[in-house]
Amino acid sequence: MRRTALAPTPAFRAPAPAGRDGVHAQTLANGMQVIVWPVHHIPNVALNLWVRAGSRNERPGITGLAHFFEHMMFNGTRTRGPGEFDRLMEARGGANNAFTSDDVTVYEDWFPASALELVLELEADRVANLAFASPLIESERGVVASERRLRVEDNNHGLLAERVQAAAFTSHPYRFPTIGWPEDIRAWRLEDLQAFYTTYYAPNNLTLTLAGDLDPRAAVRLARRYFEPIAAQAPPAPVRVREPPQLGERRVTILRKVQTPLLQCAYKAPCASDERASAIHLLMSVLMEGDASRLHRALVEERRLAIEVGGHWQEGFDPGLLWLSLTLPQDTDPAHALATLDAQLARVVDEGVTQAELERARNLAIVGFWKRLATIDGKAHLLGEYAVFHGCWSDLFEAPRRLTAVTREQLRAVAEDILATSRRTVGILAPGGRRTRAPR
Amino acid sequence: MVRVPEHERLVLDNGATLILLPRREVPLLACQALLRGGSVVDPPAPPGTASLVAALLEKGAGARDAYAFAETVEGAGGSFGALAGPEAIAVRSQFLSRDQGLMLELLSDTLRAPRLEEREFEHLRERQIEFIKAVKDSEPAELIDAYGRAMLFAGHPYARPVHGSESSLAQVTHAHARHYYRTHFGADRLILVLAGDLDIDRAEQAVRSAFASWPRAVGRPPLAQPAPSTGRRVLLVDAPGAAQTHFWIGMSGVERKYPRRAALDLVNTLFGGRFTSLLNAELRIKSGLSYGARSSFVRGSVAGEFSIRSFVETASTARAIRLALQALERLHSEGVSAEMLASARAYTLGQYALGLETAADWAAALADIEFFGLGTGYIDDYPAALAEVDPRVAREVIAEAFPTPDQVTLVVIGDAARIGGQLAEFGPIVPMRLIDPDFVPGAAGDEAPP
C-alpha cells in the first residue's frame, strides 16, 4: 500500500496570471507573428525568435542541418562581416544564445531596453541576408563536431538516448539526432544550406516574442520596420510522415567501458497539442519529480536500484516519446531495475494515483509555472511555446486552470495509454567491450 | 539602474542575522540561509563530511521522517535543498507565499532539529560515491575543478574536494556527521534571507521564535588562511577511449573583497567571460577547435582560483593549450584598449539586472553580501566603479590578478595514450587515472580497473 496518512495539501487556487491584457500581438503583412509582453521590473528585454524548423524537417544525408543553421546564423551576413552580430550586440549590453530541437530552432537575446532597435535590426538582417562563406562553414563544422563529442560521444546519457530515439522511430524523422550523424555533419553542401534557409527562414515561418521593459506599440512598429520588408516564401511542405504503430518492444544495448549502467525507456506519446497534455505533465510529476515521487521512492530509496530517476515528455508537432531514465549503481543488473520499474508502472495503470499524489503534482506544476513567469526570459519562452506548439499564445494564461481540472481517472487513463511495453524502446548501457573511439 | 531594494536587517542577541525583502511580482517566497562552515572545517573528518551533513538535513527533521519531509515540501509545490560549499552550507527554498509559515517551520526543523539518522546517512554516502562514478563516466569536466584545486591549493583547506572523493567518502562515518552538526551549527553561524511576497511582521515573529533561543556554535569559526603560490606542472588524468580532452589552466587568484573588482570583472569579460572574448575567439571563433572556452575567478574569504577551461579533440590538445596560453601572454603584453573596456562595461551593465531579477536572485545576493561583509555598496556602487576603469587600471589589475603563462597549473583529462608526448612542453607531467578514487595521484592502491 502506498502511504497516504498525510493530509493532502489542497490545490492552490491560482489567480489568473496578470498581464494578459497588456500583451500585444500582431501578424505582419508577410505572415510573421509578433507578440510583445510589457513588464517593467528590470530595465531589460528578452527576445525569442522561433523558427518552425528542426531535425524533423531533415532527411537522410542532411541530418543535423537545422542545428548547423543555428550556428551559421551567427557567422555574418551580406551586410555585416563574421563576428559583427556578437560584437555589436555585446557592445550595447546584449547577450544571446540559441537552441535547436526536433521541431524548432529558437534564437534568444537578452539586452537593455535601450538596445531594442539594434537587436531587431540585427535579427532581421540575418533572416534576410545570411552569407555562406566557405571558410566559416568549414570552421563551424569543427565547432559542431566538438559539441557532438561533448554531448554524445563522451556522454553516455546522450549516446544512449540518441540510439534509443533512432530505434524508436521507423519512418518518422524524429529518428534523426538533432545534432546530426557524424558523416552527415561532414558532408553537407552549400546548396543544402541555401535551400534550407530559403524554405524555413522565411518570415511566414517565424514567431517573434518580446518580454520586458518596452512599449508594445513602439516595439511592434520597430519589428515592422525591420522585418516587414522581408518577402514571404511559399510555406514549407508539411511533414506528412506518420509513424506506423509500434507492435512490440524494441531494445538497444550498448556495452562500454563504464562504471555505472544506464537504463532508458522511451514510450510512444502524443503530440504537444494533445488535449491530455496537462494530465501527461502531472503523470510525469507523480512518477519522477522530487524525492516523494513514486519511482524515486521505490527505486532510489527503498530498493536502491538507481541513484537517480529522471524523465521528460518530448512535446512536438507530431507524436513523440515519453522518457524515463535511470542511472544505476555500479554492479546493478539493468534487468532487475527494469522489472522493478515495470511493477511500479503497472500499479499506476491498475490502481491509478492517490488524491494526495495528484495534488502534489498539481502544486508543483503551478509553482513551476509561476517561477517561469517571474522572469522576462520565462515570459518570452512561454509566449513562443504556446504560439508555436498550441497555436495560441493567450492559452498560456489558462495553464493553471487546466491543471486544476485534471482528475485522477485522467491520470490513470494516460498512464494506461502511454506506458505499454509493446510501444516502448528500452535502452541499456552497461559495462563491457571496448569503448568505441570517435572516428577521426 | 539596479539598486538594492528596501529591506529589513536585524541581528538577534545570539548572533543570528535575518534579512527580509519584500517583492511582489509573483505569489512566491524565496529563502536563502547560509551556515558558516563548509568543507574548510571538515577536518579532522575526511573531505565530504559537510556535504553529507547538508544532504542529511532534509532527510528527516523535527516530527517528520525523510519521506514525510519530502511529501510535505512537494505536497505544497515547494522546493527545499541544502548544499555545502567551501565555506558554508547553503539552504535554498521556495514556496507559494501562502505557505510562509510552513516554509519557516521546515527551515527551523532542519537547522535546529535534524534527525541525522544513520540509515539515511549510509544511503546518502553510498549514493554520493556512485554519483562521482557516474559523473566520471559521462561528464568528467564537472570534476576538473576538484583535480585543479587539489593540486593548486595542496596543504590549504581549499584543496579538499567539497563533495568528497570516492575514497574520502568511504571513510566518513555517521559519527563524523553528528560531530560536524554539534560543532558547526548554531545561531551565530546563520544568515537568513527571506525575499518575495512575504508578510514582514509575521515572518520576523516566526524567525525570532524559531531562532532566538538557538545557542551559538561551539566550534571555532573557520580561519582565513593565505592561499599558496605555485609553479608550473601538468596533471594528466587518463580517460582511455575519450573522444576529446578537457583542460583546466589555473592559478591562485584574488579574494572576494578584492578592492578592484570592477576592473577585474571587465578584464575577465574581455579575456574569457563572453562569446567574443579573446579566449573564445582563439579556440572557437577563429579555429573551430572547440565548442567553447571560458575563464573565471572563484573568490572566497581568501584568494580562490583563476581558471581557464575548454575541451578539444584529442589530437588538438597541445595546440589548444598553446593558443590559450598565448592569449594569456597577449593579455599581459598588450593590455586592453579604452574601446574594449567601453564594450565590456556596456555588456556587464546590460546583463547585470538579469542576474538580480527574481526574489530568489535577491535572496542569494543579499546573503552573499552579508556573508563576506561587503555592504550594499557592492551592488549600488558597482556601475560607478565600472565607469572609473581605464586602460591603466586594467593593466595594473592584469599584472596583479591574472597569472602569466609560466605560473599556471594544468589539468588535462583525456586519453593519455593518444595525447602522448603532446604535453611535455608545458611542464613536468604527473599521471593518474580517472577511475582512481581520489583527485590526487597515488592516494590509493593500484587496483585494476573494473
In this structure, what CATH number is given to the domain that contains residue B147?
3.30.830.10
Interface with chain A: mutation pick from B56, B71, B337, highest number of A CBs within 10 Å:
B71
Does A111 touch chain B if contact means CB atoms closer than 8 Å?
yes
Instruction: For the domain made up of A250-431, give the CATH fold.
Output: Cytochrome Bc1 Complex; Chain A, domain 1 (3.30.830)
**pTM attached to this predicted model:** 0.94
- Which residue among A96, A143, A364 sits closest to B284, beta carbon to beta carbon? A143
Alpha carbon of B330: minimum distance to chain A alpha carbons (Å): 20
* Residue B224, in any domain of the structure: no
Q: B347 vs A95: CB contact, 8 Å cut-off?
A: yes
**B115 and B16 fall within a common domain:** yes
**pLDDT at res. A434:** 55
Give the span between the Cα atoms of A325 and A338, in whole angstroms.
11
In tens, the pLDDT along B294-343 reads 999 999 998 899 999 999 999 999 999 999 999 999 999 999 999 999 99
Q: Among residues of chain A, what percentage have pLDDT more than 90?
A: 88
In tens, the pLDDT along A348-400 reads 999 999 999 999 999 999 999 999 999 999 999 999 999 999 999 999 999 99
pLDDT above 90 (res A409): yes
**B34 and B89 fall within a common domain:** yes
For range A15-38, the mean pLDDT: 89
In tens, the pLDDT along B83-123 reads 999 999 999 999 999 999 999 999 999 999 999 999 999 99
**B54 and B109 fall within a common domain:** yes
**pLDDT at res. B443:** 58
List, in sequence order, every beta strand (DSSP E) within A66-224: 95-100, 105-112, 206-212
pLDDT-derived band at A134, boundaries 50, 70, 90: confident
- Which residue among B28, B274, B276 sits closest to A371, beta carbon to beta carbon? B28
**B188 and B310 fall within a common domain:** no
Binding-face residues of A in 14-73 toward B, CB within 8 A: 14-15, 41-44
For range B425-431, the mean pLDDT: 93
pLDDT-derived band at B448, boundaries 50, 70, 90: very low
pLDDT-derived band at B230, boundaries 50, 70, 90: low
Q: Which of A107, A410, A428, A18 is nearest to A249 (CA)?
A: A428
pLDDT above 50 (res A439): no
**B350 and B426 fall within a common domain:** yes
Q: B133 vs A330: CB contact, 8 Å cut-off?
A: yes
The domain locations on chain A are: 20-227, 250-431
Please tell me which residue of chain B has the smallest CA distance to A330.
B130
**B53 and B164 fall within a common domain:** yes
pLDDT-derived band at B156, boundaries 50, 70, 90: confident
**B207 and B294 fall within a common domain:** no
Please tell me which residue of chain B has the smallest CA distance to A429.
B137
Question: Helix B118-138 and helix B49-57: axis angle, to 10°?
Answer: 120
Binding-face residues of A in 267-296 toward B, CB within 8 A: 289-293
pLDDT above 80 (res B445): no
Binding-face residues of A in 64-103 toward B, CB within 8 A: 83, 86-87, 90-96
* Residue B87, in any domain of the structure: yes
Q: Where a domain ends, among B177, B211, B245?
A: B211
pLDDT-derived band at B25, boundaries 50, 70, 90: confident
**B320 and B397 fall within a common domain:** yes
**pLDDT at res. A23:** 95
pLDDT-derived band at A9, boundaries 50, 70, 90: very low
Cα-to-chain-centroid distance, residue B73: 25
pLDDT-derived band at A203, boundaries 50, 70, 90: very high
pLDDT above 90 (res A78): yes
**pLDDT at res. A248:** 98
* Residue B366, in any domain of the structure: yes
* Residue B447, in any domain of the structure: no
- Indicate if A250-431 has the same CATH topology as A20-227: yes
pLDDT above 60 (res B367): yes
Give the span between the Cα atoms of A76 and B81, in whole angstroms.
44
Q: What is the DSSP string of B211-267?
A: HTTPPPPSSPPPPP-PPP----EEEEEE-TT-SEEEEEEEEE---TT-TTHHHHHHH
pLDDT above 70 (res A66): yes
Pick the range with the lowest mean pLDDT from A279-288, A426-435, B143-152, B424-433. A426-435
How many structural domains are present in chain B?
A: 2
**B207 and B246 fall within a common domain:** no
Alpha carbon of A143: minimum distance to chain B alpha carbons (Å): 5
Does residue B44 have a cis bond before it (omega within 30 degrees)?
A: yes
**pLDDT at res. A97:** 95
Please write down the long-range contacts of B150-154, taking CB distance under 8 Å and 24 or more positions apart.
B150/B439, B150/B440, B151/B230, B151/B233, B151/B235, B151/B409, B151/B411, B151/B430, B151/B440, B152/B228, B152/B230, B152/B250, B152/B251, B152/B252, B152/B305, B152/B409, B153/B227, B153/B228, B153/B252, B153/B305, B154/B228, B154/B440
Contacts of B435 in chain A (CB under 8 A): 259
Alpha carbon of B40: minimum distance to chain A alpha carbons (Å): 27
Please tell me which residue of chain A has the smallest CA distance to B347.
A93
Instruction: Specify which residues B414 forms β-bridges with.
Output: B238
Interface with chain A: mutation pick from B110, B347, B379, highest number of A CBs within 10 Å:
B347
Alpha carbon of B357: minimum distance to chain A alpha carbons (Å): 7
Give kind and range of the element (H or E) at residue B407: none
**pLDDT at res. B226:** 66
Alpha carbon of B247: minimum distance to chain A alpha carbons (Å): 13
**pLDDT at res. A10:** 43
**B298 and B391 fall within a common domain:** yes
**B62 and B194 fall within a common domain:** yes
Q: Which of A131, A236, A235 is nearest to A190 (CA)?
A: A131
Give the span between the Cα atoms of B448 and B9, in whole angstroms.
56
Cα-to-chain-centroid distance, residue A104: 8
Contacts of A14 in chain B (CB under 8 A): 27
Contacts of B27 in chain A (CB under 8 A): 14-15, 370
- Which residue among B25, B95, B312 sits closest to A146, beta carbon to beta carbon? B312
Domain range for B60 is 8-211
| Average pLDDT over all residues of chain A | 93
**pLDDT at res. B223:** 67
* Residue B226, in any domain of the structure: no
In tens, the pLDDT along B124-139 reads 999 999 999 999 999 9
Please tell me which residue of chain A has the smallest CA distance to B287.
A139
Residues 6+ apart with CB under 8 A from B320: B245, B247, B283, B289, B290, B310, B312
* Residue B221, in any domain of the structure: no
- Which residue among B26, B67, B126 sits closest to A373, beta carbon to beta carbon? B26
Pick the range with the lowest mean pLDDT from A121-125, A132-136, A396-400, A412-416. A132-136
- Which residue among A149, A368, A435 sits closest to B313, beta carbon to beta carbon? A149
Interface with chain B: mutation pick from A109, A146, A330, highest number of B CBs within 10 Å:
A146
In tens, the pLDDT along A419-433 reads 999 999 999 999 996
For range B172-188, the mean pLDDT: 97
* Residue B42, in any domain of the structure: yes
For range B364-372, the mean pLDDT: 97
Alpha carbon of A350: minimum distance to chain B alpha carbons (Å): 23
Give the span between the Cα atoms of A309 and A106, in whole angstroms.
28
pLDDT-derived band at A1, boundaries 50, 70, 90: very low
Architecture (CATH level 2) of domain A20-227? 2-Layer Sandwich (3.30)
Dihedral (Cα; A345, A347, A348, A349), 10-degree rounding: 90
**B157 and B239 fall within a common domain:** no
- Which residue among A112, A154, A330 sits closest to B243, beta carbon to beta carbon? A154
Does A429 touch chain B if contact means CB atoms closer than 8 Å?
no
* Residue B389, in any domain of the structure: yes
Q: A142 vs B347: CB contact, 8 Å cut-off?
A: no
pLDDT above 90 (res B224): no
pLDDT-derived band at B446, boundaries 50, 70, 90: very low
**pLDDT at res. B229:** 62
Q: B244 vs A154: CB contact, 8 Å cut-off?
A: yes
Give kind and range of the element (H or E) at residue A154: none
- Which residue among B72, B138, B359 sits closest to A156, beta carbon to beta carbon? B138
Which tops the pLDDT comparison, B447 or A234?
A234
pLDDT above 50 (res A7): no
ipTM, interface predicted TM-score of the complex: 0.94
Is residue B141 within 8 Å of residue B237, measured between CB atoms?
A: no
Q: B134 vs A437: CB contact, 8 Å cut-off?
A: no
- Which residue among B25, B73, B353 sits closest to A44, beta carbon to beta carbon? B353
In tens, the pLDDT along A181-195 reads 999 998 888 899 999
In tens, the pLDDT along A318-338 reads 999 999 999 999 999 999 999
Does A128 touch chain B if contact means CB atoms closer than 8 Å?
no
**pLDDT at res. B450:** 35
**pLDDT at res. A17:** 65
